[in-house]
Amino acid sequence: MPIHPTAIIDASAEIDPTADIGPYVVIDGSVSIKANVRIYAHAYLSGWTDIAEDCEVHPFAVVGHLPQDFHFKGDKSYCRIGPRTIIREHVTVHRSAHADGETVIGSDCQLLCGTHVGHDAVLGKGVTLIPFAAVAGHAEIHDRVIISNASAVHQFTRVGRLAMLGGGSIITQDVPPFMMTIDRGAPIGVNVIGMKRASLPKEDISEIRQLYREVYRSDRPISVSVDAFRERVATPSGRAFVEFMDNPGRRGIIRAGRQPRD
């Protein structure tokens, strides 16, 4: 596959011969592009960025550019994109704001048009960002999370595996795995469809629904609810839920919503 003659490529870049580099692409810096990657017209890649095998970067995407951090001193830092990830039009993914730090996008992710991933954020495998979703710096998004359109995740916030954030959600505290949220991030139920699509057993789904009821339909503090069922969990998903709740990040765990349902 060719490198288009209008592409501008830094001499320090490393490009696999099977990669397809489209018209007017700019590759500025020590960018590494692995096998079968396609970079569409007008994309901009910079910094110390690594694009793994079979990725797609679409027109006007910006990957590995300078972090939006007033404390950034221009240090060498990294941006890593996992295999088979698709980065659509006008997406921005910034490299770390810290010397030798990393912004990491896992394998098989889909970052749809206009989405943003800030410096030092980490996305797991199979994460989907719907148009205009934004993930702030240092956020941690676990495997197979869906962040719906126009949602925003606060810096240093964690979102657990297979959570689904509804359109327009404002997430300022940690979202436990398998939960669904809406509005100000309040949990409104269990992502049962997502769990089924992930081929999780019925027993896991049933236990997560029970844990949701005990935590988010109870008047007890979250820590008390977790203590009450800690010894009773019997499935891998239940244990993952408890482990997440036992290890809150610096932002704390989201509280019950005004319209809980399951």
For 164-180, how does the pLDDT look when each residue is reduced to its tens digit (9 = 90+)? 999 999 999 999 999 99
Helix (H, G, I), strand (E, B) or coil at 211: helix
pLDDT at 186: 73
Mean pLDDT of 118-144: 98
User: For residues 244 and 126, what is the distance between their CA atoms, to the nearest angstrom?
Assistant: 19
Q: Is 66 inside a domain boundary? A: yes
CATH of the domain at 51: 2.160.10.10
Q: Is the pLDDT of residue 257 over 90?
A: no
Q: Is 79 inside a domain boundary? A: yes
Rounded mean pLDDT of the chain?
93
DSSP secondary structure letter of residue 174: B
Q: Is 92 inside a domain boundary? A: yes
User: For residues 198 and 124, what is the distance between their CA atoms, to the nearest angstrom?
Assistant: 15
Tally of domains within the chain: 1
Q: Sign (positive/negative) of CA torsion 179, 191, 91, 95?
A: positive
> DSSP letters along 217-246, please?
SSSS-HHHHHHHHGGG--SHHHHHHHHHHH
Q: Is 235 inside a domain boundary? A: no
Q: Is the pLDDT of residue 260 over 60?
A: no
Residue in 47, 202, 45, 197 with CA at minimum distance from that of residue 128: 197
Q: Is 29 inside a domain boundary? A: yes
- How many C-beta neighbours within 10 Å does residue 63 have? 28
pLDDT at 1: 56
Q: Is 106 inside a domain boundary? A: yes
Mean pLDDT of 190-194: 96
Q: Is 41 inside a domain boundary? A: yes
pLDDT digits (tens, 9 = 90+) for 15-71: 999 999 999 999 999 999 999 999 999 999 999 999 999 999 999 999 999 999 998
Q: Are strands 186-190 and 179-182 parallel, antiparallel or unpaired?
A: antiparallel
Structural tokens at position 129 = 């960002």
User: For residues 104 and 101, what is the distance between their CA atoms, to the nearest angstrom?
Assistant: 10
H helices, E strands: number in the chain: 4, 27
Give the structural domain span for 98: 8-138
Q: Is 121 inside a domain boundary? A: yes
Catalytic residue IDs = 119-120, 137
Find the range with the poorest average confidence among 6-10, 39-43, 253-257.
253-257
